[in-house]
Structure 1
Amino acid sequence: MTFIQGFVAAVPTANRDAYRDHAAQALPLFKEFGARRMVEAWGDDVPDGTVTDFRGAVQAKEDETVVFSWIEYADQAAYDAALSAMMDDPRMEDMAEMPFDGSRMIFAGFDPLLDEGPGGTTGYVDGFLIPVAPDQKDAFFDLARRAAPVFLEHGATRVVEAWGDDLPDGKLTDFNRATKVTDGEKVVFAWIEWPSREVRDAGQAKVMADPRMQDPGAVPFDGKRMIFGGFLPILDQ
């Protein structure tokens, strides 16, 4: 099972190419430090929410687009070693200035408790941030285990649900504030991979109509604070 470093950022829409180039420049270093896969996905279908949403999570401005991204490591030990190496490597200081406001980027490590599907070429990503109470952890992942095969049957190639146990507080933004956690809730960083936007749209409709999804029982989290959106990968290596 891998370990995930998850990110959400607000990037000036005009800086899309510069952002991708910056990420591509960093990729060889991250791989040298132990990263197995790095995905950067550009906001495409990111709705406004009534309580929480991706734009609010990173205080996105009108001329900014939300990016949902992650880096996969072999395990938490590899992730911890990578963080230490990044702090000590002078090449990190030599990289070009980030083409976005890094002070509003949120990031943390997450332990995948569910990772289903063969994966493959990813043409579209549905991303989620979900606040879950610790005493609902087992119920949440039981629900996720029952739902994952339905998504895979209807076109998804991979479903990942990753638990954040120790998420750092940020000065301006962080995962806890993004989902307005209360009473010790933890944040789940999750995504569904699809071959394309078209397959995703058709698949989501089939999932919603599937009898297995009609009566999921009690939902073990506050759906009003779940954050979700659709993203187009601009880098996946």
Structure 2
Amino acid sequence: MTYIDGFVTPVPRDNRAAYEHHVAQAAAIFADLGATRLVECRGDDVPAGTHTDFARAVALTDDEDVLFSWIEYPDRATRDAAGAAMMADPRMAALGMPFDGKRMIYGGFDGVMVSDSDGTNTAPGYVDGCLTPVPAAGRDAYIAFAAESAQVFRDHGALRVVEGWGDDVPVGKHTDFARAVALQDGEVACYSWIEWPSKDARNTGWQAVMADPRMADRDMPFDGRRMVYGGFLPVFDQRMGADA
């Protein structure tokens, strides 16, 4: 089963080029350590929320963009080994950090639902990213809800839908996934995304999804008021390994 390291990062707009260079260098290291894909997406249509949002999640400043990114591994064992090796890799020590790492939020997630439209590994032109607080006792209901929703999204043009269940999600000093979704006792933070061919396809697809009768009158097995969501433009997408 896919294992995911998910990140949300505040990056100064003046550092866009430096950040993308940083990511390209890091991707080569992660490929050597067993990762199968690394994706970085820059905030494009990221609304302010009443209770939670991506800007608050990383204490975003006016001169920064929010980045939604992830690294995929074949399993947690590979991810854990990569994390240990990374700490000892001199190439990581040599990398600059063109962002405020104290406000970056990160964590490990079980890929509990991965739905591909055609298996062709088509690179997305747009990504919808979500962070969701879900009752731990409602895991099965959430996965079933996600799978049913994924089918609707794929029927209306989505390339891939992935749901990650919080598994190794640390508490941060300044920011973290728990604070991002105002997590309550007995809840788990989930990390998910929808890949689309383009922003136009995403906008058209969402209109069709909202009008689809399969989405009507459904009970959400989570508090949607605290869900964090937004639209992102991919700026880096590297697939590694035999399936790249």
Deviations 1:157-194 (A, max 9, x none): 00000100331011100101111101121011000000
Q: Which residue of 1 aligns with 2:106?
A: 107
Q: Which residue of 2 aligns with 1:14?
A: 14
Shift of 1:16: 1.3
Shift of 1:138: 1.1
CA distance in 2, matches of 1:166, 1:132: 15
CA distance in 2, matches of 1:204, 1:16: 29
Q: Which residue of 1 aligns with 2:195?
A: 193
Aligned length: 235
Q: Which residue of 1 aligns with 2:234?
A: 233
CA distance in 1, matches of 2:16, 2:153: 30
Unaligned runs of 5+ residues in structure 2 are 239-244
For residue 145 of structure 2, what is the amino acid of its counterpart?
L
CA distance in 1, matches of 2:56, 2:231: 16
CA distance in 2, matches of 1:109, 1:166: 5
Worse overlay, 146-155 or 117-126: 117-126
Q: Which residue of 1 aligns with 2:223?
A: 222
Q: Which residue of 2 aligns with 1:157?
A: 159
CA distance in 1, matches of 2:185, 2:28: 40
Where 2:171 maps in the other structure, the secondary structure is coil
TM-score by length of 2: 0.94
Deviations 1:78-115 (A, max 9, x none): 000000001111221112x2111011001111001100
Counterparts of 1:59-98 in structure 2 under 5 Å?
A: 59-95=59-95, 97-98=96-97
TM-score by length of 1: 0.97
For residue 76 of structure 1, what is the amino acid of its counterpart?
R
Q: Which residue of 1 aligns with 2:46?
A: 46
Q: Which residue of 1 aligns with 2:58?
A: 58
For residue 188 of structure 2, what is the amino acid of its counterpart?
K
Worse overlay, 86-95 or 169-178: 86-95
Aligned mate of 2:204, from 183, 192, 202: 202
CA distance in 1, matches of 2:146, 2:92: 37
Where 1:7 maps in the other structure, the secondary structure is strand
CA distance in 2, matches of 1:156, 1:219: 21
CA distance in 2, matches of 1:28, 1:100: 20
The runs of at least 4 aligned residues of structure 1 exceeding 6 Å deviation read none
Aligned mate of 1:123, from 110, 122, 125: 125
Aligned-residue sequence identity (percent) comes to 56
Unaligned runs of 5+ residues in structure 1 are none
CA distance in 2, matches of 1:28, 1:167: 24
Counterparts of 1:141-180 in structure 2 under 5 Å?
A: 141-180=143-182
